[in-house]
Each structure stands twice: as structure tokens, then as C-alpha cells.
Structure 1
Amino acid sequence: MNMAELIYCRSAVRSSGVVRNLSILRFLMGIALTLIGAVFSPSAHANIACEIDNISLTLSAGTISVPVGMSVGQILGNIAPSTFQMSCHFVNRVSTVTSATNYANFATTQLAPGFTDVYQTNIAGIGVRYTFNSAQCNAASVVMLNGKAQVGCFFSGPLDGPYMTANITVTPTLVVTGALAPGTTTLSSAPTVSVTYTSSDQDTSWNKGSLYTGAATGLFVHATCSVTQPSLSVSLPTANTRAFSSGIGAVAAPQPFQLSFACAAGAKVSITLTDSVNPSNRSNTLTLTADSTARGIGLQVLNSTGSPVYFGPDSAAPGNTNQWLIGNSPAGALLVPMQARYIRTGAVSPGSVKALATFTMSYQ
């Protein structure tokens, strides 16, 4: 913690007589000059003393899917906000100041080409914008422009009183800054954001370290394919209960269907199917919806090799659980042939059967 004391001096030279001697006048002028020098050479110390908590952050993006055809300036998503604290109190030094504004000054470098508020990460085509908010400091949507941002917080309190705290939230936003390579790219670094304090009752600044250290983590999966069928309904033929007489695991009535995509060449394409009714399902049989009336029957999905698909998490991360490889993306249409079929899971009673699934593409 850095502090300084500001000593104010006043002087007045009074004379009740008449100066009659030139040498005495020169002597008095010399004293006056000395006193003026003392006024302008103080050891400056401020009354407000401030600290900062919850800094040295890592930019953690998680896994983000980048759709096909995103243009420069489009937002990829917000990273979860982080809140840090500015804590200040007033020290009983020479002056008796009990109110002042403390400023958190943020600075960074590496502006993305063509932007004044986005800073380049290690991934070509992806940058980050920083926005600051604080209700206690009356700061709303303060964006770091040309490498700088400032949030000022007013404090008022007793001398030698407890620390008063103001919360400041920073939200990083990921932005497209240029052409993106297809496939999966790892986020490993972002520009360092430093914090410097200044205050209204002094003319000194204090380096408070880094809000963001420059370390970053995350995966960006840039799609090379877009879905040409946003919703697909597969109707299976009616099956007789006798078709399942051989016991649990008996299957019947396979129905072909296909997934259709429009692609650009340049990546290996993988896919994961997720059970929408029960996303934690990792088996190869979908959970039926609540409005299904049949019992002892489930639904399976078969991939292009005719093998039952095991379901996994809704994630585009490479190596996702139960993800499987389709192949290289073509320059044009990509058709993925599949099948759906009934499977016996218990004692069978007739009725309707319905299940829901989603798919997630991954590109490497």
C-alpha cells in the first residue's frame, strides 16, 4: 500500500516599519524565497488508501462452436463475468480528507486490426472485448477503447475507519476479427490487462498488478458444414408385438433416413447424438417421451455401418464421449445415411412410441 502525506504551509511576512536599508530588504527577500521553496517541495501523501482483490484471472472460454459463415465483428459469445473488489479507507495522516474518488485504470495492447475495442488472442480471427460494470461506482457498460478504460468509485468515511468495498464486474466478449481456419483451435493466450490506481486527492499512481495475466484456455470448433434440415422427423412402420417374441433385445422395423449438410472442404467431421429426454443417457437405446403409451419398447439409431449409436453429451469437443467419425468434409453436400428401429427392453404392451435426439458436429 502506498501513501503520502501532503503538508500545506502558509507564511506571511508582516512589517510595521519602513525598510530603510537595502541590505535588510535583500535579506528579507532571501527569506521569502526560502519559504516559497518549502511550499512547493512537500513530501506528498494522500489520505485515501486502496487495495484490490480477486485479480490475476485466466481467460477461460470453454468449448465454443463457431458456425459456418460468421463475418468480421460478429459475437461468438460472452465468457462468464468475473467480479473483483476495490477496497478503500481513509488514513489519519496530516490532512483530514474523508472523501475522495479512487480510479481503477485498465490497460492492454494488441488491438485487433480494424477495431478500437477488440484485442487479438493467439487464434487468428478471434479477439476479445472487455466491458466493465459497477452499480456502486455508477459505471455501466464501460468498454476498453484503444487499450484503456477507467472506472472511478467515490468513497466517504471516517479517518482510520474500516475498508469500504466496491464490486466491479468485467465481462469478456469473444468477437470474430478475421477469417477463421476450419476445424478445432486451442485458445492459449490473450493480452494481459494491467490495473493501476489513481485517486482524486493526490497526483501519484500505484501499479496493482494484472486483472488478466495473459493465460487463456478454450477450444474453438469452426464448422465447415451447415445443416440443411434443421428438424427431421422419422416415422417408423407399425410393428406387431409378436415381432419381439424372442425376448429382450429383439429388434424390428428398421427405417432408413439421412442427415444432410452443406459443407466446405478442409476438416474431418465427427458427430455425437444426444438423448434429448435423458441427456445423461450413454446407452444405445433412446429414452421414450412421457406421452409414449407402449411399454417394454425402446428406439435405437444405427449409423452408416449399421451399428447402434451410443449417445453422448451435447458437445463439439474433439473426443467427446460416444462421438464417431463421419469422414472428410466435401466441397458440397454431405449425406449421412442412418436407420431407426424398435428394440425390446422389457415386458411388451402395445401403444405409441416416441423419442427425441439431437446431434452435434465436431470438426478437426
Structure 2
Amino acid sequence: MNDVRMACGRCSRLAGLLALMVSMVHAEAGTLTYPAYGVQVLNVPASLSVGRDTPVGTTLWQLMKNAGISVSDVSCTVQKDVTVTGTLVPGYTNMYQSGVEGIGVRLYVTSEYKGQLVVIPVSQSYSVPVNGTMENDVRADFIVTGPVKSGTTSNLPSMQLKFSGSCFTTVTATQTLTGNTAVAGNTCSVTTPTLTFPLPRAYSKDLASTGATTGDTVVPLNIDCPAGVKIGVTLTDAVNPANRSSTLSLAPGSSAAGVGMQIMNGATAVSFGPDSAAAGTVNQWIAGTSAGGAIQIPLTARYVRTSSKLVPGSVNGKATFTMSYQ
């Protein structure tokens, strides 16, 4: 009897060992293939032309490809970890340097295996259909992070994807940005940096009531710009920079009172703004989009009566202009 019990005990241990071996084989029976469509690179454009004052956050270029995931007998949870090799733009947590000042790179991947994109780096755990081919898009954006300077992209970031689970062998892949982009940070040159408006002598009869104007004098602002640049202009009252009205303050040395000056853009009296080239600055106005080459922006200065009491004398004013190339 003792011999029989010992034999059965050995059989029991052997059966347990065989069951464990079967379980181990089953745990790695599935396969996950990435990328399913062979997408390994995202080709960047050969060149980009960017206005110097293009607003921060503007997307200059974007490319997305579906790399795809193929699974077979994957019945376990999939862990997807996506990281980036690159240098962060200072002040950002998911924007990477492109090698050109003012342009950053942001990378995206499909959330789980379908639906919207999420910004990399990201870590997700999810279930997939046991068998089949699924979406897995990867995307790269070039985004404005500050004033753009001319240059060529270099050391572009890459994304590393890792798929792991208990029922398939871990899969890793790298998606790279390939090529170099020559960036032209478009800017213009002002060929008339100083404008002088020699207004004629004005008489009380020409300024008979508050709001009356006289002495219109036209002087062109001359600039030279590459084609495609949108030109913004902001005038600032040099005597009172906080002035946001359309009447220029009298400069020291003026002896007249009850009169001011206006600067016209066509038929519109320009309101004054801060000394800033940022796109969308208060009271910035758009002079047009350059076709390439020399441009004249005609400006008109004139007297305007500002109060019921008019005191004769000399009138002087001073304003500065700031150009914004977008």
C-alpha cells in the first residue's frame, strides 16, 4: 500500500508540472505586430516660410500616418508606453526643439487603439479585439513657440512606442522625423525709418468747430517685403504711450491749445496703441499682404480741433510706428 501511495503522489506532482507547462505556453500564444503598415518615418517638408510675428501656437506644418496594429490571439490587457527622445522647449512639457528658434515639435499618437489623438508622452492600459488590424495613427506638428528666425531644423525628436502584455512578446518601435526643413523667417526692411509731416499753416476759420480738420499732408511709409508677408502696423503716441484715442498728444514746445493731430490710414483716423509687434496688438491695423518687393503705405497727417477754446500757436507731435510681419 505504501508503494502505491508513493506512485500516485509522483503522478500528481507530474500532472501539476505538465499543467504549469501548458499554462506557460498558452500565456505567450498571441502576437502583436507594430507597425502593421510599415510606417517608420514622417518626412518633414523641405522648406517653410514664416512671418516673424506669426502668433505663438500657430501650426505651420502637420503630418499624420496610420502605422496600424495587427493582433492575433491577444486576449490579455495591452500596455502602451510612448516616449520621446528630444530636448524640450523651455517652459513646455510636451513641445520639443526643432533646431530653429521659434519653432517647436509636438508629437501625437492614437489614444488606445482608436479614436482621438493624445499628446506624447503617454502611458495607457487597455483591451483590444482578440484578432484583427486596428488604427494607430502617429502625427507630428511644427508649432510656433516665439519669434521665428531663419535656420534649418536639426536633431528632430523621435517617438518610441512599446507594447507589452502577458499573452504576447513585447514589441518596440521607433517613429522618426526624417529630413531637414529650411525655415525662412520672413521679415521686411523699412526704407523710410523716419517720417516728417510738414503740415501747412492753419487758420482759425479752417477749424471753426470741435472735430473740424485741416492741413492734410501725405507722406508714404516705404518698406520692402518678401511675398506672402501680412504687414501689421501700430502707431504709438510718443508723448503719452497710454493714449488709445485717434488724436495725437501735443509734444513739448507746442504753444497752441485746443488742437491736436490725427494720422490717417486712407480715410480712417488711426487709433494709437502700445509699442508692440505682437500679432493682434491693440489698435494694430493690417496694411496688406506683400506680393514681394517695395511697398508704399501712404499716411496722412492733419490738424483736428479738440475743444471749444482754440489758442493760436505752434503745434508739434511725435509718434512711433512698429511693424509686425505675419
Smaller-chain TM-score bracket: 0.3 to 0.5
Structure scoring higher RCO (CA < 8 A, sep ≥ 6) equals 2
